[in-house]
Structure 1
Amino acid sequence: MTTATRRGVLGLLSASAALLSPSARAASETPAPAAGAEDACILTPQSESGPYYFDPKLVRTDITEGRPGVPLGLRLRVIEAGACTPIPGARVDVWQCDARGIYSGYPGQSDTHKLDQSGKTYLRGTQMADAAGWAGFNTIYPGWYAGRATHIHFRVFVDEATVLTGQTFFPEALNEFIYSNVPDYTGRPKQRLVINANDRVATDADPDHRAYCAVKEERDRYLATLTLAVRREAAKPVEMPTGRLPPAPWIKDRLAALVPGLKRSPF
């Protein structure tokens, strides 16, 4: 997307957000939690790494490699659970799909499962946490693919040992608007059926929403922030379950599932 187009998209999103209910606006405008906030010091839940992780050995802030999409800044703060002290120098890896739900580095991509992205490294990267524990990336708003809610993967290393593998999730009202209105994300042949409310990883691994990021609008991008509370001991990444996964619960009331605070059951 050009700069002008990006600004136009963000302006459109901002105008639309004003039409949402107060609960929906809060979901997309919640400020980042204050450093040292009590709930930020509780251990961030482990989550499966998924099938698409590899380390391209790219220490970089900008991970887009020209992939189109709504610009997103991602800032992750690594702290020690309980003590709430930052962990400078912690290594943070992130990886995500693009606006069409495609990951770099693997075959069998896209809605047709026929796109081969082997050898590519877009939307992957590594940063080292600064003195305050922050690691930042310039990326795009993630798209979606069948069977999963919108998410970005992360992995944290301390002294070369993996201490946390997880996923962060995004506000559903904002997801729905972007996927319905921004050309880079629209025109998919399939309907998006799995959202935060019925995503197996989101509901099973993180029922208390401790890995849900806070998203706010800036002048020319969105900014997503999340505090990752870890223990310094090595933690084995959660493996994906083998065999056929049970289908996600059917969402009967999509609006109730998308907008927080509505007094209706989505199931």
Structure 2
Amino acid sequence: MTRRRVVVAGGAAVAAAGLGTVAATAASASPDGSTSASPSASASSPSKEVCYRLTSETTEGPYYIDADKIRKNITEGKEGIPMTLRLKVIDSETCKPLAKAAVDLWHCDALGFYSGYEDASSGGGTPPTGAPPTGTPTGTPTGRPPGGGHQDPTDDKRYLRGTQLTDRHGFVEFTTIFPGWYRGRCVHMHTKVHVGGKMTDSGYEGGHACHTGQLFFAEEDVLASAEVAPYSTNTTERTTLDEDGIYPGNGAEGGLLPLKYRKGKIAKGVVGSLTLGVDPDATNDGTGM
């Protein structure tokens, strides 16, 4: 569904693209959002190199709702560890930022429930409208992760969902909370990148989804969050990153999101940054995986 995209390491082409020298990039991002590259060819080399590897495609999952809320803050008062998420979207062929691309973000709350699907979610015991469960999450993960088959919403709530348009540098920023966990899946967020559409009174319409992915977190970050309420009240068996059936196991290229926070002070908030390398000409809606 995607193709390998390359750039020619010719001096004129490089100057036109503003890249300076051409380097093969391993699609890794530092916590501050910058990328690291290991030069493998000089600007005068006639060889071709991959500018930026495509970020892995994953299933859309059953809980996607075509977002009509263009907004930065998606918390709607949900309780949890404050999180700032910064994503940069670039064309993997040219490494140029994609401006005015629509980036969807959606994820569960601290107890594993999705807005629009509180009755269908397999969260930590009682839906957020009732009393939260108590205890410490333990045990062996059981069950299969939810598949890609879409389900119709069961309620009209839309917390922890939203869409932002990338700026001219390809950046979007969301204000949200660190996600919790539910049966059969590791802690994760969902993303989708749309291009070719336009803004209307009803939201972003038209175009196509060129990327559907998920963002994942290191085990040490998840364990730190599990010490903080209300995550600490989630008694659902937790699936680790290594046990997850969807994480592709390839680091930042697969959506592994580095976090910045003060050690021992994760309750104060976290910042996550990642670059998404996409093929704007491809169609990847995540429904056939």
Q: Flag the 1:240–1:201 CA change in 2: closer, same or farther, 3 A.
A: farther
Tell me, in whole angstroms, the C-alpha distance in 2 between the residues paired with 1:156 and 1:163. 6
Structure 1's unaligned 5+ residue stretches are: 1-29, 242-267
In structure 2, what residue type is equivalent to 1:166?
G
Q: Does 1:82 find its partner at 2:78?
A: no
Of 164, 181, 184, the residue aligned with 1:144 is: 181
Tell me, in whole angstroms, the C-alpha distance in 1 between the residues paired with 2:236 and 2:102. 37
Alignment partner, residue 191 of structure 2: 154
Alignment partner, residue 187 of structure 1: 233
Within-5 A mapping of 1:184-263: 184-192=230-238, 194-203=239-248, 206-210=249-253, 211-217=255-261, 220-239=268-287
Tell me, in whole angstroms, the C-alpha distance in 1 between the residues paired with 2:52 and 2:213. 16
What TM-score results when the alignment is normalised by the length of structure 2? 0.66
- Shift in Å, 1:158: 1.0
Instruction: Return the structure number with greater strand share.
Output: 2
* Aligned partners of 1:108 and 1:115 also within 8 Å: no
Question: Which string of whole-angstrom CA distances, capped at 9 and with x for unpartnered residues, describes residues 31-71 of structure 1?
Answer: 23425846982110110010000023000000000000000
Q: Flag the 1:37–1:221 CA change in 2: closer, same or farther, 3 A.
A: farther
Instruction: Return the structure number with greater helix share.
Output: 1
Alignment partner, residue 55 of structure 2: 44
Q: Does 1:178 find its partner at 2:225?
A: yes
Tell me, in whole angstroms, the C-alpha distance in 1 between the residues paired with 2:195 and 2:219. 32
In structure 1, what residue type is equivalent to 2:215?
T
Alignment partner, residue 103 of structure 2: 92
Question: Which string of whole-angstrom CA distances, capped at 9 and with x for unpartnered residues, describes residues 150-204 of structure 1?
Answer: 111000011121100000101210101211x101101223331x1111101003x
In structure 1, what residue type is equivalent to 2:228?
V
Q: Does 1:101 find its partner at 2:112?
A: yes
SS at 2:247 equivalent = helix
Q: How many residues align?
A: 208
* Aligned partners of 2:260 and 2:272 also within 8 Å: yes
SS at 1:182 equivalent = coil
Structure 2's unaligned 5+ residue stretches are: 1-29, 39-49, 130-153, 197-206
Tell me, in whole angstroms, the C-alpha distance in 1 between the residues paired with 2:112 and 2:216. 15
Tell me, in whole angstroms, the C-alpha distance in 1 between the residues paired with 2:51 and 2:241. 21
- Shift in Å, 1:94: 0.4
Tell me, in whole angstroms, the C-alpha distance in 2 between the residues paired with 1:40 and 1:92. 22
* Aligned partners of 2:31 and 2:272 also within 8 Å: no
Percent identical pairs in the alignment equals: 35
Question: Which string of whole-angstrom CA distances, capped at 9 and with x for unpartnered residues, describes residues 233-260 of structure 1?
Answer: 132323376xxxxxxxxxxxxxxxxxxx
Q: Which moved more, 1:167-176 or 1:107-116?
A: 107-116
* Aligned partners of 1:93 and 1:125 also within 8 Å: yes
Tell me, in whole angstroms, the C-alpha distance in 2 between the residues paired with 1:120 and 1:40. 41
Within-5 A mapping of 1:49-88: 49-88=60-99
In structure 1, what residue type is equivalent to 2:68?
K
Moved over 6 A (4+): 113-117
